[in-house]
Amino acid sequence: MSEATCPHRPPCPGCPRLGQRGIAPEAMDALTLVAARAGLPEPVVHEGSPWSFRRRAKLAVRGRSTSPKLGIFQADSHRIVDMPRCPIHHPLINRVAQEVRAGIRETGLAPYADRPHRGLLRYVQIAVDDSGTRAQLAVVTNDRSPESMDPLATQLRDRLGDALQGLWWNGNPERTNSIFGPHWAHLAGDKRLELEVGGVRIHVPPGAFAQNHGQLFERLVERVRSLVPNQVRVREFYAGTGPIGLGLADRCRAVEFNEVDPHALVGLATGLAQLPPEARSRCRVLPGRAGECLDDLESVDIAIVDPPRKGLDPELIEALCAGAVPQLVYVSCGWRSFETESALLSEAGLLLRSLEAYAMFPYTEHVEIVAHFARAAT
C-alpha cells in the first residue's frame, strides 16, 4: 500500500506503519520472547477494521481564523498537519472537524499560537457514540471562562444539529503541552457519552480516558472477563469508567474498582448507579492511586490491572510479587513496561499462563496486551 492512500502523508506522523498489518515487529519480537520464556506459543494478534476505526481523536487547532487547521503536530515541532480527510478517523470525526473549521471562519475567533501564547482555540476532542451518528465535542480554549467561545458554540450547535451528542468547554490558559486544563463547563446536550461494552453501558465524560478502537476493545473486554471465574472477589486497578468490571458484577461475589482520575470516577459512578440493585450491592469503589489501595489485597481471588504505558505503581508491583493474589489479569498498553514487569512477576511465582495482543493502535508501535498470570497451585 502506498502513502498516496492517505492524502496527509507526508508530513503527518500519525501512522508510521500505514498499510502494514499486525503489530510493530519490535513489539512482536519482545512479546514472542516473553511467551517463549513461559513455554507458550507465539502470541495471537487480534486485528480490527483497518480504516475509519478511530472513534476518538484529539486535534490541535492552529493557523489563522481565515484558514484554520485541525490536526496533529509534525514530528518534533509545533507545525501542524491539517487533516480534513483522515482515513483512519470515523467519518463523523472528519465531519465535526470540518464544521469546527467553518465555525472558526464564520466567527473570526483566533486559533492558538504556541510561541507568543496568544489566540483562543487550542484543541478539540471528538468522540463518536455507538451509533456512529452522534459525537461528543470538547473545545479547549486559552481562557479561564467559556464566554469567549459563545459565538463558536452557537455555530456548532446550529451546524451539527442532532449529530452533536454533547458540547463541552475546557479552559487551559497556561503555557503547557498538556491538552486539557483544570476548568470545565458543560454547554449543550448530554453530559456523558454513553457506550455499550460487552452488554454493559458505560458513561464517559470528556475528561476521562476511553479506547478509540471500539470494535477491537469489545473483543479485548470479552477476553478479560472470560479469564475471571464466577463467584470470586475481584479488584480492578486503574478501572477507568468501568468497562471491564461493570460486566463482572452480575456473577462475581464482589467487585472492587480502583481509580484515581476524578473524571473517570464520575463516569464509573453513573455506570454503577444503573446496575441492578443486587449487582450494585456487590461493588465497591476505592478512589486514589493504585499503590495506595492495597488494603486487604490478600483476600482478593483475582486482580485485574490496566495501567498507563509506564506500567504499575511501584507499591502495587511489589505487593503482587510478594504473593498478594493467586491470579492476575494484566491489560497493558505499554509493551516495554510489560516486558519488564512480566519478568518480575514470573520470578516471584506468578507464572504466565496466556498472552495475546490486540492491534488497538494500527500503524503505530503501540499494542494492547492481555496476559493471565497464576501461581503454580492455582
pLDDT 10s digits, 187-225: 999 999 999 999 999 999 999 999 999 889 999 999 999
For the chain, percent of residues with pLDDT exceeding 90: 95
Domain boundary among 137, 156, 190: 190
Q: Which domain holds residue 265?
A: 25-50+213-375
Mean pLDDT (the chain, rounded): 96
Same domain, yes or no, for 165 and 310?
no
DSSP state of 282: T
Residue 149 within any structural domain of the chain: yes
Same domain, yes or no, for 168 and 256?
no
For 299-331, how does the pLDDT look when each residue is reduced to its tens digit (9 = 90+)? 999 999 999 999 999 999 999 999 999 999 999
pLDDT value of residue 1: 38
Return the active site residues.
333
> Any idea what the CATH number is for the domain that residue 143 is in?
2.40.50.1070
pLDDT value of residue 378: 58
Same domain, yes or no, for 127 and 223?
no
Same domain, yes or no, for 371 and 287?
yes
pLDDT value of residue 5: 83
> Any idea what the CATH number is for the domain that residue 226 is in?
3.40.50.150
Residue 1 within any structural domain of the chain: no
Same domain, yes or no, for 114 and 160?
yes
pLDDT value of residue 159: 97
CA 235 to CA 77: how far, in whole Å? 41
Same domain, yes or no, for 46 and 68?
no
- Looking at residues 335-352, what average pLDDT do you find? 98
pLDDT above 50: residue 4? no
Least confident of 2-6, 36-40, 83-87, 241-245: 2-6
Residue 5 within any structural domain of the chain: no
Closest CA to 252 of 279, 285, 221, 222: 279
For 12-66, how does the pLDDT look when each residue is reduced to its tens digit (9 = 90+)? 999 999 989 999 999 999 999 999 999 999 999 999 998 999 999 999 999 999 9
Same domain, yes or no, for 134 and 251?
no
Same domain, yes or no, for 109 and 244?
no
pLDDT value of residue 242: 98
pLDDT value of residue 76: 86
Same domain, yes or no, for 334 and 301?
yes
- Looking at residues 338-361, what average pLDDT do you find? 97
Residue 333 within any structural domain of the chain: yes
Residue 93 within any structural domain of the chain: yes
Same domain, yes or no, for 220 and 145?
no
Give pairs for 153-156: CB < 8 Å, separation 24+.
153/187, 153/188, 155/99, 155/102, 155/103, 155/106, 155/107, 156/99, 156/100, 156/103
Q: Return the sign of the alpha-carbon dihedral for residues 185, 186, 188, 192.
A: positive
pLDDT value of residue 3: 46
Residue 320 within any structural domain of the chain: yes
Same domain, yes or no, for 170 and 42?
no
Same domain, yes or no, for 141 and 223?
no
pLDDT value of residue 78: 85
Residue 200 within any structural domain of the chain: no
Amino acid at 367: V
Taking residue 253's Cβ as centre, other Cβ atoms within 10 Å add up to: 11
Number of domains in the chain: 2
Domain boundary among 190, 222, 239: 190
Give the pLDDT band (50/70/90) at residue 2: very low
pLDDT value of residue 59: 98
Residue 80 within any structural domain of the chain: yes
pLDDT above 60: residue 158? yes
DSSP state of 178: -
